[in-house]
Amino acid sequence: MAKLFRAAIMGPPGSGKGTISERIAQSFGLQYLSSGHFLREAIAANTEAGVLVKSYVERSVLVPDPVMTTLMLPRLEQLSNHSWLLDGFPRTLAQAQALDSICQLDLVISLNIPYETLKERLSDRWIHPASGRVYNMGFNPPRVQGRDDISGEPLIQHDDDKPEALMARLRHYKDVAKPVIDLYKSQGILHSFSGTETDRIWPYISSLLSSKISTQPSNTCQTPTH
Ligand code: ATP
Ligand code: MG
């Protein structure tokens, strides 16, 4: 039987985490678990947790740690026989400690992307609010400037993606992530990757994972007691 492998990926907004996670999940057969995805799912299904988290997610404010761990840990416990990749969780030291208490990660990937690159990517992002379609003025522009390709309606920019807000958002990410990164560094499982292009970083991540997944004995997660 293949050994189990548990990894997490961390990186600031605009770091290409989503793209890299998809590639990892596909290439290495890890189940992809995104906290943002679980939260949006709970909100859409109007569950108790969904009602609780809605206002935070809508404002892009961090959901309180106890709510987050209550949402995430049971799912991970259910996956005790699977290999997985976590994206967006843990985001704070308290979340990392809660995760640590049920499961030892094998590897954490941290993406270090220069501030200028993040700023360029994020400030170029425009959306069509009704459909959620996203355009990037640099590499995926709409056919007609400022208009959605399908409806022709005007595109808007999230307040969050406006240059004024970006600096604060990125600084906040750094402050919150620092103790989490330090924890994983002290456990010897942190691997940092720097660069300005996802396609250039990917081969390094891919070869690291190839070596780890084939050779490393896996840590275990507690199995559910019920
Ligand atoms: P990125 O741009 O890197 O994807 P994001 O914050 O815009 O980051 P998601 O990761 O999809 O997007 O998360 C959406 C929202 O869900 C966040 O703004 C936050 O409100 C909430 N959230 C997601 N993960 C967590 C977490 N681990 N702890 C607290 N809140 C979270
Ligand atoms: Mg996201």
For ligand 1, is residue 16 a contact (CB within 6 Å)? no
111 Cβ below 6 A of ligand 1: no
pLDDT of residue 1: 47
Q: φ, ψ for residue 106 (rounded to 5)? A: -85, -30
Distance in Å, CA 2 to ligand 1 centroid: 31
Q: Report the predicted TM-score, pTM, of the whole model to 2 decimal places.
A: 0.85
Give the other-Cβ count within 10 Å of 170's Cβ.
Answer: 19
Residue 89, ligand 1, Cβ within 6 A: yes
Q: In this predicted model, what pLDDT tens digit does every residue of 119-158 receive, in sequence order?
A: 888 888 898 988 888 898 888 899 999 999 999 999 998 8
Distance 44 CA to ligand 1 centre (A): 16
Rounded to an integer, the average pLDDT of 92-119 is 95
Q: Which residues surround ligand 2, an ion (CB under 5 A)?
A: 36
Res 226 pLDDT > 70 = no
Q: Which runs of E-coded beta strand occur in the chain? A: 6-10, 31-34, 84-87, 107-112, 125-128, 133-136, 190-194
Q: Considering the chain, what is the average pLDDT of its residues?
A: 90
CA of 40 to the centre of ligand 1 (A): 10
Instruction: Determine the 3-state secondary structure of 116 from DSSP.
Output: helix
Ordered structural domains, the chain, with CATH: 6-215 (3.40.50.300)
What pLDDT, on a 0 to 100 scale, did the predictor assign at position 219?
Answer: 58
Mean pLDDT confidence for 65-80: 95
Residue 143 has what pLDDT?
Answer: 96
Nearest CA to ligand 1 atom 19: 62
